[in-house]
Amino acid sequence: MMTKPAPESGAAPGTPGKGAREHASTRAVLDAFAAGDPDDHLRMGDLLSGLRQTAFGMLLFVAVLPAFLPIPGLAGAISGPLVVLIGAQLLVCLRKPWLPKFLARRGPHRRSMARFRDMMSRWLGWLEKLVRPRMEGVLDHPLASAFTGLLLVLLGLLLALPIPFTNYLFGVLLLLFVFALLERDGALMLIAWLAGAIAVVVFGFVSGNLVQMLVHMVDGWF
């Protein structure tokens, strides 16, 4: 007589198992992370365990969440540096994301996941009709991964800057990268590249924000 396999040890209640997370849609993943005690913390290390190809997408998703919270300075202090960290790892073509222990032990509350899911519910329904696995070479090729990483580094730097009224704009833009990585959609990644490059040129170089920041960084090194 066959016995039912025991649940995977160490998984938090309401957290999907490895196989489920690797193939579930973005909405299904959000539903699983939102289920349970709203005061529970979801540790980023647990969120990434079992994920392979979509691990960077999930980590980027968690990094972008603070950009949608109406707390001044939160996106710049949390989202910006995390996006830069993720982009740097894609830039050097790491196969899976790395987090320092102090970050792996931290993460969002389930209530934040539920609030974001409810806010994006209509958009998620629309995206699910359009987004699907395709053109995966755009995601997997080392040069493509490096270009994605470069854009994320630059967008993360812009998000960290105190540019008025841009948190939501950069947050939505970064969600294009999130959905492209989570849903394995290379066509959407091409759109994210175009939108990201335009944002970097307009808000970074034309306005001088990014150039000024880079100059200050270089001055600090010498």
Tens digits of per-residue pLDDT, 147-168?
Answer: 999 999 999 988 888 777 778 8
Domain membership of residue 12 (yes or no) is no
The CA distance from 155 to 28, in Å, is 27
Domain membership of residue 8 (yes or no) is no
Domain membership of residue 172 (yes or no) is yes
* Total domains in the fold of the chain: 1
| Weakest mean pLDDT among 52-61, 167-176, 192-201 | 52-61
DSSP string, 128-165: HHH--SB-THHHHSHHHHHHHHHHHHHHHHHHHS--TT
Query: Taking the complete model, does pTM exceed 0.85, yes or no?
Result: no
Domain membership of residue 86 (yes or no) is yes
Residue 214's pLDDT band, with cuts at 50, 70 and 90, is low
> What average pLDDT does the segment 40-59 reach?
74
Q: Is the pLDDT of residue 15 over 70?
A: no
The identity of residue 154, as a single letter, is L
Backbone angles phi, psi at 125, to 5 degrees: -60, -40
Domain membership of residue 5 (yes or no) is no
Q: Is the pLDDT of residue 81 over 80?
A: yes
Domain membership of residue 26 (yes or no) is yes
Note the pLDDT of residue 177.
95
- Greater confidence (14 vs 89) lies with 89
Domain membership of residue 115 (yes or no) is yes
- Greater confidence (148 vs 97) lies with 148
Segments forming the whole domain that contains residue 201: 18-221
CA angle 170, 174, 175 (to 5 degrees): 120
Q: Tell me the range of 11-15, 81-85, 98-102 where mean pLDDT is highest.
A: 81-85
Q: Is the pLDDT of residue 69 over 50?
A: yes
Q: 48 with 103: CB under 8 angstroms?
A: no
Note the pLDDT of residue 1.
42
Contacts of 157 (CB under 8 A, 6+ apart): 80, 84, 204, 210, 213, 214
Note the pLDDT of residue 211.
59
Domain membership of residue 4 (yes or no) is no
Q: If you search the block for the tokens 């040069």, which residue do you land on?
A: 143
